Amino acid sequence: MKILAVDDDEMVLEILFSGLRASGYTDVDLAPSAKAAMKKIEEATTPYDCFMFDIQMPEMDGIDLCSWVRKRREYENAPILMVTAMTERTYIQRAFNAGATDYVTKPFDPLELSTRIKMADRLVRDSARAKSAAFEIQDLRDKIENDFRVPFTEPVTIFGVPSVIGRLNMENYLRQLSRSGLFSTSVFAVHVTGLEGYYRTLSASDYYFLLVDVAESLCTALGDREYFVAYAGSGSFLITVQHANAITPSMVERQASEALNKMGATQGFDGRALLQYRCGEPVRIGVLFSGGSVEKALDMALEKLERTLLARNEGAYVSARTPGLGLASLFVK
């Protein structure tokens, strides 16, 4: 795995370099600034597989560098770890909104850092397998649409919509809030009734762009609040939001539906169904759901949504609880 570590502190770079080599990662480049990193990225003969960015650096900070990297098509899925002393919510929020995959605070434990890097390595290997399969069939669109269609129950990473991230990124975001003692965030789930009908009738690409429209409608409903949205599969979205007591399920359902109708997102599709939003009750991310229990909080949000659907006599759904690259990984540029 080819790694680029960026920090304006030479000692931190040395520690990172030594720690990575001790963990078996020897293909490591170092950069003392964001501008130096951009030069290395642009001149690299083979792309980097993983990035590690400090946040506070002169001229250009690591969050802006993260955003710049994410705009490059070859790095849409590359793991980006923020390694920083900044623990305030605003930095964590900005970093994940810019596309960070994980967030490690200084001073860091070498064992913990090694674990995070190994998780990133696993993501790189999974992405490489997906890209290999996609390149082999890049001239056979019908095969992509039919044989390589992601199951309806699987999570999908949606790109290009501010505050919409992957499920794994959401888990890492919530873990970092918990580590920093920031417990004012809640998570709730939203089910979009009618998506499965579109899944069965639309092409894989058209279904993906419908998910993009639905995600944008949820963002419109959430307004200027501090939030993240992730598609969890099975027609359900997970939403983290600060101070959820100011949000009511009926408000989200109504405003998201209105936003989607204004987009005309379902117009022109044969056999179109009426999409309806159904919100579950929020789950507070507190001490009981800190650290490794974040997954339990997300699962509980999905379970509360399922109970809401049952109470409305709309049937249960199958929740998707395993993070994955999702449909977007098939469309390799």
What domains can be seen in the chain, in order of their start residue? 3-129 (3.40.50.2300), 142-330 (3.30.70.270)
Q: From the first residue on, what is the mean pLDDT of each consecutive set of 10 residues in the chain (333 residues)? A: 94 91 91 96 94 94 96 89 89 92 82 77 62 45 52 88 90 83 82 91 87 94 92 94 80 92 64 76 69 77 88 59 38 30
Per-residue confidence (pLDDT) for residue 322, from 0 to 100: 42
> Angle CA(274)–CA(278)–CA(283) in degrees, nearest 5?
160
List Cβ neighbours of 189 (8 Å cut-off, separation of 6 or more): 232, 236, 237, 238, 239, 279, 280, 301, 302, 304, 305
What is the maximum span of the chain, computed from C-alpha positions, in angstroms? Answer: 62
d(CA 279, CA 305): 6
What's the confidence (pLDDT) of residue 271?
39
pLDDT tens digits along 6-19: 999 999 999 999 98
pLDDT at 272: 42
Residue 19: its pLDDT value, please?
87
Q: What is the pLDDT of residues 157-213, one digit of tens each?
A: 888 888 999 988 898 888 888 777 666 788 999 999 989 988 988 888 888 889 999
